Structure 1
Amino acid sequence: AVMVADLEEARRHCQIDKAEEKLLMSPGSPIVLMKWKSDSNITQAVAPGLKYLGIMLPYTPLHPLLLKETGLPLVMTSGNLSEEPIAKDNDEALRRLSSIADYFLMHNRDIYARYDDSVMIVEKGIPRFTRRARGYAPYPVRLPFKSKQILGCGAEEKNTFCLTRDNYAFVSQHIGNMENLETLEHYVNTIDLYKKLFRIEPEVIAHDMHPEYLPTKYAKELADKEKIKLVPVQHHHAHIASCMAENGIREPVIGVSLDGTGYGTDGHIWGGEFMAADIKKFDRLAHLEYLPLAGGAQAIRKPYRTAIGYLLALGIGLDKNLPMFKYLEKPELEIIKEQVARGINTPLTSSMGRLFDSVAAIIGARGIIQYEAQAAIDLEMLAYIAPDETGSYPFSYEAHGGMNVIKLHDLFVAIIVDILKKTPEAVIAARFHNTVARMILETCQIISSKTSLNRVALSGGVFQNRLLLRIIVPLLESADFEVYTHRQVPCNDGGISLGQVAIANFSEG
């Protein structure tokens, strides 16, 4: 993100509407992602390939002094190594950051708690969180029910935890990805701090169903030690319950939960889920068809592997003229073919996030990522170049009992035809976004015809895609659906802990 001296300077770099101006100037002082002006003199290297720039205004007395001395916008980033907690103490900063920082500005005022900057967008006129931390956490979310004292341990990525009492849910600041002992230590210490701060002693602990997540292991150890009731919660149900809780809804909804990864009740990786749900329970009624991730986690880092695995599983020929082949050597292709054919390290997924990745790879937009969701973001940025495109791609449904499986063969064939016809990448990206919106609408209509539900809750990291959100909300509303989205917590995994505590409150046994 970039810090500038004042609103006038911010306007030189970004298009700012009234709602964004109000958010920038608010006491919370978040980073606000806004449309980047083409004549801004801030280098594209700050946010390569992106059409939005994160801007923040000074929020401590020190910041104006720094900005006055330099006379320039300042690129601001957290004082930590990637995936580690922020350095809190002077000695800790010198020890951990000396290899990457040239200078240190010390202070004699101790930091009591680690907080990242909050990150927000304004979409459909509504401020929405991408990351909820400084300036907002731990301000409580008011619940539509009186809650037991519960600890929700959150997800593995973009972790937050949540503690409840009475009608209030105290969602923590962004903790980060739970991938190392340093972050786990920060997580445990912050839980202890919140318990003291709000005088909460959990009588129930809720956790994600994934057995290998660090928060799951912590929950099980704590429950065993304290003899506390333990409630496992399915990841995508937690997304929908989170959206319902913050919107004050208790009646059943059609839940549309779209993200990259979540452990399913059948042991597969879910992520393209449609359900009839309330806060107590859910009934999965539709999902993207299961396809193999060639190489597991490696396919997430290298979306071209996801794309090749999908095409092989769908029986679609691998045309060597497809742009994605620039990313791999022949020996790797043979390995992927063998993996898919024999089912070796190819977990099945219904993930919408991986579908975005595979399309980005097939058209040659992004085959290898440097950060989470980069391929999907590139696809969104491309689609903005073709704003008037109204076309879309075909897909179909296959019924299995009460389940509708969304089949993707025709979609991929049509995209490949467009590629080989030299259709511009931007047009393909726009058509794909239109297709996903149609998929959501038509699936909700199918579920509504069976259940008579007309409320739709949208959750999961895919809805951080601003283009998709601005297409799908009016589309659903024009079809007479009431649409609920996130405002108080992120739609990504940063909101999972709120859903966990809501579900656990009504868990029986």
Structure 2
Amino acid sequence: MSTGAARAEPRTRVSIRVEGIVQGVGFRPHVHSLARRLALSGWVGNDSEGVFIEAEGTRESLTRFQEELGGHAPPLAVIHRVTVTAVPALGDSGFVIAGSREGGARAALISPDVATCADCLAELSDPADRRYRHPFINCTNCGPRFTVIRDVPYDRPATTMAGFAMCEECTAEYLDPHDRRFHAQPICCPACGPALRLLGADGRTHRPGAAGSDGGAARDPIRLAAEVVRSGGVLAVKGLGGYHLAADATDEAAVRTLRSRKHREDRPFAVMVADLDAARTLCELDPVAERLLTGPRRPIVLLPRRPGAPLARAVAPDDRRLGVMLPYTPMHHLLAREIARPYVLTSGNLSDEPIAYRDWDAFTRLAGIADRFLTHDRPIHVRTDDSVVLAAGGRELPLRRSRGYAPEPLRLPRPVRRAVLACGAELKNTFCLAEGGRAFVSHHIGDLENYETLRSFSEGIDHFRRLFDITPRVVAHDLHPEYLSTKYACDLDGVDLVGVQHHHAHIASCLADNQEAGPVIGVAFDGLGYGADGTLWGGELLVADLTGFTRAGCLTPVPLPGGTAAIRQPWRMAAAHLDAAYGGTPPGDLRVSSRHRDWDDVVAVARSGVNSPLTSSAGRLFDAVAAILGLRDTVTYEGQAAIALEQRADPAEESGYPVRLGGDEGEREGEGEGEGEGDLAGGLLTIRTGDLIRAVVEDLRGGTDPAVISARFHNGLAAATAASCARLRASTGIGTVALSGGVFQNRLLLDRLVQALRLLDFRVLTHHRVPPNDGGVSLGQAAVAAARDLEG
């Protein structure tokens, strides 16, 4: 045997399991192309757990394959784990994409819906392309995902595209590993895909058919629909996750008509614009806002409104902010181009109802609102509202996490021993399923105040359980016995129930959002939550970790006169706070008291305690100050008075009202019923809000500008809260503060408090993956239940 003869390098084979968001995002074509380039043999395919790979080649080529597998993955892929196992070599040749495997435990993750990519937009605008102006253009890098998926593995038969048979050209693209539409499950074209229709107000009268069916732009539903908006009408539009209502945002009469028909008095409408340049004419944009507006998630972004922005006043009455979004489907892009001006795009519902997403339901419920319906024949499987975010502190602060985000899982700070279902809160409800180290927070469900929303809640849980193959053994719920989410939990059989106090869930949500376990000093400021002592909490200082908490402090409790009536009528909270702050004898020359004939009766009710439970609510404190300043005596939506107070504040004002801190040494408030709940020895630290109320009144009576008063109130509350945290650090040694609760949607308070805490050398945790409001409570409940289960 010649010593110079070359010996072939031995081939080895590995089996690779890839978990994460790796289905429907072009991951198999990526693997196929990489394997072919490295001369590997084997296969890649989808199954219920993710992507499976067998690859055979030289050790060097397999090493490079594993290195580049994740490093050069498609943009929408999210890899959570890669497991590699050596297997016997087969000596086969060629690398193929295998058919999907069914069965086994389901661990495959589902991609959120993704905004139309640049490649598809280029085709959409190219008259020479066969998908020119096709409203349903998509590829592996964009398009519908979560809203069309019925089951996993993510293949076309398991989506709402199953009823659309691919034409020959689409089939060729679908089967070509080198095409960017390779195994793009919603693939279609004008010859084989869904079709748009413009219908009359009754949802039955057919208007001219799809573009190209009869030739000519005059019969194009997009152009006809745009004319409805441009002429002052209200258009119902079937989007990704439900129906929207559109109107010309520059036409005062059109927007007022929409408000009247929708029964939405004051809450601002979101506005869609064609591109960033159009957004800049309406709002001030920074790099974070631009990234959010143009990214693949395409949420509504709350932005500072430019003075003189060319919009109807009725779009966002008396609001210095504007919710803006850019088109996220081909249909929205086409519609925005044809309307050629900003247009309102708001949820298709009456106020307080869930968004309509089934055609028959939309035609019934929206018949009295819309003049025309722009609809199509691709079913929506999951009702999904638009997401809403705020750019704060150089990063996004979610206010509503839904389309574009759900159902992407969140990592938990601790693994789950037994699968958990967390049922969330009553308002802004989401639910959460957790297993292993992952938490699946649902899309926005809404306020659980009617049958339709409750049905959406229960159907959503069933859908998530099926998609992710999770059977919960532990079910977490709020302590409030009348919440529908609590009743749902208590009606379940064969599970262990875990009650989680509302504000502990808020702080746990912030911990889980930052993948931490605590302990922290938790500041939970919100509207109302059922307290462990039977009162209504809402301005809380907790010493907490994931397993339990101690109520260490709170805002001064005052009565909630008339119960829920005080939420709708902030002047009632002004009466309660003024009576408490002045010991029953507030100044008699305040306009807020003279505006209401039954003021004295409400004060009497508050003092009697009849239908007037005590509350430490920060949200109700903001309501009271807004009413005292004459900004809002009544509200038509949650948080309206507090928003008015924030927006009235002068951001240049740096002084704040001094606030004393007190400790009720002999009292034992808030003794807990749950594990790890109770009081600090020595009593409860109290932020004396009466000092703030008296300072507000003194400045108001002295003629100080309400803008200055509002700023001083915000600054004073922030300073007092930071000082309270410093006092608690002295007794606990804890140097980390977690901020949660709906009040921290207030950008001014959040910024001032974070700044004050950092000046005191605190480490500060805020939300960035789930909302600080009740939309994040389910994640906190799941984290608490999982942590207690681990210890139990």
Equivalent residues of 1:396, 1:410 under 8 A apart: no
The structure with the larger Rg is 2
Q: Which amino acid in the other structure matches residue 392 of structure 1?
A: Y
Between the aligned partners of 2:343 and 2:290, the Cα distance in structure 1 is 19
Equivalent residue number for residue 60 of structure 2: none
Correspondence list, 1:312-323, <5 A: 312-314=579-581, 315-323=583-591
Q: Which amino acid in the other structure matches residue 604 of structure 2?
A: E
1:475 Cα deviation after fit: 1.4
Does the C-alpha gap of structure 1 residues 2 and 22 become closer, same or farther in structure 2, counting only changes over 3 Å? same
Q: 1:415 aligns with which of 684, 696, 705?
A: 696
Number of aligned residues:
503
Correspondence list, 1:96-111, <5 A: 96-111=365-380
Q: Which amino acid in the other structure matches residue 591 of structure 2?
A: P
Equivalent residue number for residue 403 of structure 2: 134
Correspondence list, 1:151-230, <5 A: 151-222=421-492, 226-230=493-497
Between the aligned partners of 1:406 and 1:37, the Cα distance in structure 2 is 37
1:69 Cα deviation after fit: 2.1
- Cα deviation code 1:370-392 (max 9, x no counterpart): 11011100000011x35234232
Q: Which amino acid in the other structure matches residue 259 of structure 1?
A: D
Equivalent residue number for residue 448 of structure 1: 729
1:250 Cα deviation after fit: 1.6
Equivalent residue number for residue 72 of structure 1: 341
Q: 1:287 aligns with which of 549, 554, 561?
A: 554
Q: Which amino acid in the other structure matches residue 421 of structure 1?
A: G
SS where residue 340 of structure 1 aligns? Answer: helix
Equivalent residue number for residue 366 of structure 1: 632
Q: Which amino acid in the other structure matches residue 342 of structure 1?
A: S
Q: Which range moved further: 260-269 or 66-75?
A: 66-75
SS where residue 507 of structure 1 aligns? Answer: helix
Equivalent residues of 1:393, 1:431 under 8 A apart: no
Q: 2:523 aligns with which of 247, 256, 259?
A: 256
Q: Which amino acid in the other structure matches residue 655 of structure 2?
A: T
1:211 Cα deviation after fit: 0.4
Equivalent residues of 1:396, 1:408 under 8 A apart: no
Equivalent residue number for residue 463 of structure 1: 744
Equivalent residues of 2:580, 2:690 under 8 A apart: no
Between the aligned partners of 1:187 and 1:276, the Cα distance in structure 2 is 32
Equivalent residue number for residue 325 of structure 2: 56
Q: Which amino acid in the other structure matches residue 305 of structure 2?
A: W
Equivalent residue number for residue 623 of structure 2: 357
- Cα deviation code 1:437-464 (max 9, x no counterpart): 0111011001000000000000000100
Equivalent residues of 1:393, 1:432 under 8 A apart: no
SS where residue 709 of structure 2 aligns? Answer: helix
Equivalent residue number for residue 490 of structure 1: 771
Correspondence list, 1:10-49, <5 A: 10-49=279-318
Between the aligned partners of 1:403 and 1:15, the Cα distance in structure 2 is 44
Equivalent residue number for residue 178 of structure 2: none
Between the aligned partners of 2:726 and 2:452, the Cα distance in structure 1 is 46
Equivalent residues of 2:657, 2:692 under 8 A apart: no
Q: 1:390 aligns with which of 655, 662, 669?
A: 655
Equivalent residues of 2:429, 2:444 under 8 A apart: yes
Equivalent residue number for residue 224 of structure 2: none
Equivalent residues of 2:523, 2:740 under 8 A apart: yes
Between the aligned partners of 2:387 and 2:554, the Cα distance in structure 1 is 32
Equivalent residues of 2:657, 2:695 under 8 A apart: no
Q: Which amino acid in the other structure matches residue 356 of structure 2?
A: A
Q: Which amino acid in the other structure matches residue 470 of structure 1?
A: D
Between the aligned partners of 1:219 and 1:337, the Cα distance in structure 2 is 38
1:357 Cα deviation after fit: 0.5
Between the aligned partners of 1:475 and 1:410, the Cα distance in structure 2 is 19
Equivalent residue number for residue 112 of structure 1: 381
Between the aligned partners of 2:683 and 2:624, the Cα distance in structure 1 is 28
Between the aligned partners of 1:7 and 1:358, the Cα distance in structure 2 is 39
Q: Which amino acid in the other structure matches residue 773 of structure 2?
A: N
Equivalent residue number for residue 298 of structure 1: 565
Equivalent residue number for residue 278 of structure 1: 545
Equivalent residue number for residue 236 of structure 1: 503
Q: 2:761 aligns with which of 475, 480, 487?
A: 480
SS where residue 422 of structure 1 aligns? Answer: coil
Between the aligned partners of 2:470 and 2:357, the Cα distance in structure 1 is 25
Equivalent residue number for residue 119 of structure 2: none
Alignment TM-score, normalising by the size of structure 1: 0.97
Between the aligned partners of 2:440 and 2:661, the Cα distance in structure 1 is 42
Equivalent residues of 2:424, 2:431 under 8 A apart: yes
2:362 is aligned with 1:93: yes
Q: Which amino acid in the other structure matches residue 446 of structure 1?
A: R
1:476 Cα deviation after fit: 0.6
The percent identity for this pair of structures is 50
Please tell me the root mean square deviation across aligned C-alpha atoms, in Å: 1.3
- Cα deviation code 1:274-330 (max 9, x no counterpart): 01110001011111121001111111110101111222234142434213135412x
Structure showing greater relative contact order (alpha-carbon pairs closer than 8 Å, 6 or more residues apart): 1
Equivalent residue number for residue 310 of structure 1: 577
Between the aligned partners of 1:72 and 1:320, the Cα distance in structure 2 is 51
Q: 1:82 aligns with which of 337, 351, 373?
A: 351
Between the aligned partners of 1:74 and 1:408, the Cα distance in structure 2 is 43
Q: 2:415 aligns with which of 146, 153, 157?
A: 146
Equivalent residues of 2:561, 2:572 under 8 A apart: yes
SS where residue 635 of structure 2 aligns? Answer: coil
SS where residue 424 of structure 2 aligns? Answer: coil
SS where residue 49 of structure 1 aligns? Answer: coil
Q: Which amino acid in the other structure matches residue 335 of structure 2?
A: L
Q: Which range moved further: 44-53 or 402-411?
A: 402-411
Q: Which amino acid in the other structure matches residue 214 of structure 1?
A: L
Q: Which amino acid in the other structure matches residue 645 of structure 2?
A: L
Consecutive unaligned residues in structure 2, runs of 5 or more? 1-269, 666-681
Equivalent residues of 2:421, 2:782 under 8 A apart: yes
1:145 Cα deviation after fit: 1.4
- Cα deviation code 1:192-214 (max 9, x no counterpart): 00000000000000000000000
Q: Which amino acid in the other structure matches residue 372 of structure 1?
A: E
SS where residue 63 of structure 1 aligns? Answer: helix
Correspondence list, 1:321-340, <5 A: 321-325=589-593, 327-329=595-597, 332-340=598-606
SS where residue 783 of structure 2 aligns? Answer: helix
SS where residue 106 of structure 1 aligns? Answer: strand
1:266 Cα deviation after fit: 0.4
SS where residue 168 of structure 1 aligns? Answer: strand
Q: Which range moved further: 102-111 or 203-212?
A: 102-111
Equivalent residues of 1:121, 1:130 under 8 A apart: yes
Equivalent residues of 2:523, 2:541 under 8 A apart: yes
Between the aligned partners of 2:580 and 2:721, the Cα distance in structure 1 is 24
Give the structure with the higher percent helix.
1
Between the aligned partners of 1:490 and 1:100, the Cα distance in structure 2 is 31
Equivalent residues of 2:662, 2:687 under 8 A apart: yes
Q: Which amino acid in the other structure matches residue 276 of structure 1?
A: V
SS where residue 528 of structure 2 aligns? Answer: strand
